[in-house]
Structures are given as structure tokens and as C-alpha cells.
Chains A and B, each alone.
Chain A
Amino acid sequence: ETGVTQSPTHLIKTRGQQVTLRCSSQSGHNTVSWYQQALGQGPQFIFQYYREEENGRGNFPPRFSGLQFPNYSSELNVNALELDDSALYLCASSLPGLQADTQYFGPGTRLTVL
């Protein structure tokens, strides 16, 4: 088990609503990345935060946004939920720089959009 925690474990929302997912990084890790994993697919990179600033973004629309706090915990916010947003959302923390490639994943939040 990694030291990365995520909350909530499961979440059910309806189309058009907004959702906030939370992640607590492993101790000493100041870089956090978020991934979306649809059923039967590999994770897709959403964005990464380093020192409270966005440090790269994948091919996701602006309604996906994030925050990183001084204690390195992070939030993923999704506005105007769509049915296709139903997925497992994974948070991963890592050390900075060249060590950032090795990522430590949390257990994920399963989001269902009805």
C-alpha cells in the first residue's frame, strides 16, 4: 500500500452537477498527478500539480480543474458533469524532477454519472 489516500471511495452524481475529489499525497511528495480511467481502459493523464501550480495538462476540457494546497494535498474539480465522465479517478504523488516518473497511486474514486 502507498501512503496516498483519496476520498470519497465512491460517488454518484447526475449529469450537469459538479464534483470535487480529494487526494492526500505520500509524505515528502510535492508533485501530484490526476488520471481518469474508463472501464477496461488504461489511465489517461488529466493534469499535474507541482508547488501549487499546474505543471502540464492532458487532453481534457477546462471544466476539469484542480488545486494543490501547501501541504501538497490536492483536489480535482469537474463541472457540468457528462455521462462519459463516469470513471475511476486516480491520484498519484511523486518526488519532483527526474524522480517524478515513478508514481505512487491512491486507491481511486469511482465516479458514476447518471
Chain B
Amino acid sequence: SQQGEEDPQALSIQEGENATMNCSYKTSINNLQWYRQNSGRGLVHLILIRSNEREKHSGRLRVTLDTSKKSSSLLITASRAADTASYFCATALHGSSNTGKLIFGQGTTLQVKP
């Protein structure tokens, strides 16, 4: 079963608006990452936030992590048509034996209309 669940499943906004997507997970984690996927192609790593961090920024991206609620959010500010893609959260479990074994949610499909 999936560890993470993204919400909403689909999001449609106008260019220039902000997009917020959420991710919930079930077990303790080392870190949580967000990836983007364009049209069924390979995934692109966007940002990683460690379990001891609460917020992280990268360009127009802002990620928060609340380990007490087992949830994370990804905010894309001033969206562009090129941001149209599917966005996935991925968790990395505790323990060295789990390193690199990512568990993905089902994703949020974002459409940014020009």
C-alpha cells in the first residue's frame, strides 16, 4: 500500500496563482521529498526536507513538514504554465537498511492555465 497520500488529486489554477498540495504519511521517516513528473516521463527531484526541519525553500517552492501530524505541504508561488505536471511526495523510512527505498504517494496533478 502507499505510504503517502496527496491531496488534492487534481488541481487547476490560473497562471500567477499559488498552488498548494498536501501529503500525509503513516510511519516515522528520515526525510520527505517532492518530485515532479511531466506527462508520464521520469521524475525530477524538487526538494528534500529532513525530519528535524519544519520548513524549506527553493526558488518558488516552499515545503513544510509537520512530523506530529505526519503531513507535508508543497507551495508553488506565482505559478507558470510550465509548472503543469504531476507532483509526488516520497518518504524515506528510518534505518540504514531502508536508505534509498522511497515510498511514493499517488500524486497531485496540477494544471496551470495560461
Q: Chain A residues in contact with chain B, CB under 8 A?
A: 2, 4, 31, 33, 35, 40-45, 48, 55-56, 58, 88, 90, 92, 94, 97-98, 100-108, 110
Residues of A within 8 A of B44 (CB): 2, 105
Bound: A34/B79 CA distance, A: 31
Closest CB in chain B relative to A43 CB, distance in Å:
5
Contact of B40 (CB < 8 Å), options: A31, A35, A88, A102: A88
Q: Would you list 16 pairs from A and B whose C-beta atoms are within 8 A, ordered by A residue?
A: A4-B42, A33-B100, A33-B101, A41-B107, A42-B90, A42-B105, A48-B100, A58-B101, A101-B33, A101-B48, A101-B92, A101-B99, A101-B100, A103-B43, A103-B100, A103-B102
A102-B33 in contact (CB<8A): yes
Given A88-B40, A110-B40, A102 contacting B104 (CB threshold 8 A):
no
**5 shortest A-B CB distances, which residue pairs?**
A100-B100, A42-B104, A105-B42, A101-B92, A105-B43
Residues of A within 8 A of B77 (CB): none
Bound: A45/B35 CA distance, A: 15
Which residue of chain B has the shortest Cβ distance to A108 in the bound complex?
B42
B100-A43 in contact (CB<8A): no
Residues of B within 8 A of A41 (CB): 106-107
Closest CB in chain B relative to A104 CB, distance in Å:
7
For chain B, residues 1 to 20, give those with C-beta under 8 angstroms from any C-beta of chain A: 2, 4
A98-B99 in contact (CB<8A): yes
A44-B104 in contact (CB<8A): yes
Closest CB in chain B relative to A4 CB, distance in Å:
7
Q: Which of B45, B48, B92, B103 has the most CB of A within 10 A?
A: B45
Bound: A71/B19 CA distance, A: 41
Bound: A61/B106 CA distance, A: 22
